[in-house]
Amino acid sequence: MEWIRDHAWEAWLALAFVLAAAEIASMDFVLLMLAAGALAGVVAALAGAGGVLQCVIAAVAAVAALGLVRPALLRRLHSSPETPLGKDRYVGMRAVVTSRIAAHERGAVRLDGETWTATAAAGVVLEPGQPVDVIEIRGATAVVRPTVEGPEEMGE
- The per-residue pLDDT for range 114-144, each reduced to its tens digit, is 999 999 987 789 999 999 999 999 988 999 9
CATH no. for 86-146: 2.40.50.140
Q: What is the pTM of this model?
A: 0.52
Q: What is the pLDDT of residue 78?
A: 77
Confidence bin at 81 (pLDDT 50/70/90): low
pLDDT at 146 over 50: yes
**Which residue, among 17, 21, 30, has the nearest Cα to 9 in the 3D structure?**
17
Who contacts 117 (Cβ-Cβ below 8 Å, separation ≥6)? 106, 107, 108, 140, 141, 142
